[in-house]
Structures are given as C-alpha cells and as structure tokens.
Amino acid sequence: MGLSEKEKMIAGNQLFNVYDDELVAERAAARKQVEAFNALGESDPAKSQALIRQLFGSTGDAVSVHANFRCDYGYNIYVDDDFFANYDCVMLDVAPIRIGKHCLLGPKVQLYSVNHPAEPELRRNGAMGIGKPITLGDDVWVGGGAIICPGVTLGNNVIVGAGSVVTKSFGDNVAIAGNPARVIKSIAPKSAVDD
C-alpha cells in the first residue's frame, strides 16, 4: 500500500495533494487553535503559552510567541528551550520546522517549508505541494521581515539580517543578509556558557 498524502507531505520532497480530506481537516483544526491564540493577544500569557504547547509538535522550556501568529498544521513545528517569536510570524509547516535552543524570530518572520511544482499543470489551483524541512540551529536570530525558504538549514549562532530572503543553507557562526541572503561576516563562536 502506498503512502497517504499526509505521509508524503511530512516525508518531504514528494508531491502530495494539498486538498486531501485529512489534510484539509487538520488545517481547519489548526486554524481554530490559532484563532483562539490570536484572540487572547497578550491578555493571558499562561493560557497563550498553553495553546502554543498544544498546537506545536514539541516545545522546550520558556517558549514565547506573540500574536498574530499563523501556521498550517502546528504539529510539524518543534522548538527547543528559550524560544521567542515576535509579532506576526508565519510558519507554513507542511514539512517539519525544527528550531534549536535560544532562538529569536523578529516581527513578521516567515518560515516556508512548502513549495509547489514547476510544471503549471501540477500547480494549478495550488492542488499539489512539495514539503521541504527547515532547520534552525541553536542561538539563531532571524531579523524582522526575513523569509526562510523551503529546505533551508541554518547552523548554530547564525544571524539573519532584517528583510533577508534565505534561499540556501548556511553553516555555523555567520551573519547573512540580502536577497538572496549571503554571508556578510563571520561571528565568533559562542562561548562556553551554560546550556
């Protein structure tokens, strides 16, 4: 028996039917959770954090996400300890989005783990998608308005300049910026502070 559309989506690099009944239902359920989270705003931080912990696939300690937040499924988002996402972030989590410890996302940061095929017949009406995971290492800081494209991996101690479009992967200890993003300088490795 072949893979379900959900299994193809999560596996990555395989075409899947975006309008599969199971996926449509899961997106609708996630939207209800996201709307409840966004409606709270900053009025009840404990309840907001509880909603994010229910929505995400896993969370570490000290997770803070500001409204308005958007995602497709939620269960494909994995964040480690000391995570902060500022206002208006978007995580299209068709494929897994994994974020390490001590990471900061500025306002309006967008993480897209979904793409569509190049062939026009396959992408008409957005019917077919391709998931490509995104991974951010520890101590990554993504400046406001930056976009991380499908399939990107950023190493540890990476700074992404505000407004950048990151189309390829980068290793540890670099500052990147631009469209497309490129290395603008090296950063001294993080010191041996407690982890």
- Whether domain 11-185 has CATH 2.160.10.10: yes
Which of 24-28, 117-121, 190-194 is the most confident on average? 24-28
The bridge status of strand 15-17 relative to strand 128-131 is antiparallel
Q: What residues does each domain of the chain span?
A: 11-185
- The order of strands in the sheet holding 153-154 is 77-79, 97-99, 134-136, 153-154
Instruction: For residue range 107-131, list pLDDT tens digits in order.
Output: 999 999 999 888 888 887 778 999 9
- For residue 190, what pLDDT is reported? 63
Q: How far apart are CA 130 and CA 68, in angstroms?
A: 26
| Sign, CA torsion 158/165/152/66 | positive
What rounded mean pLDDT belongs to the chain?
A: 94
What is the reported pLDDT for 127? Answer: 85
Tell me the C-alpha distance between 96 and 124, whole Å. 24
Give me the active site residues, please.
116
Q: Rounded distance, CA 189 to CA 59, Å?
A: 25
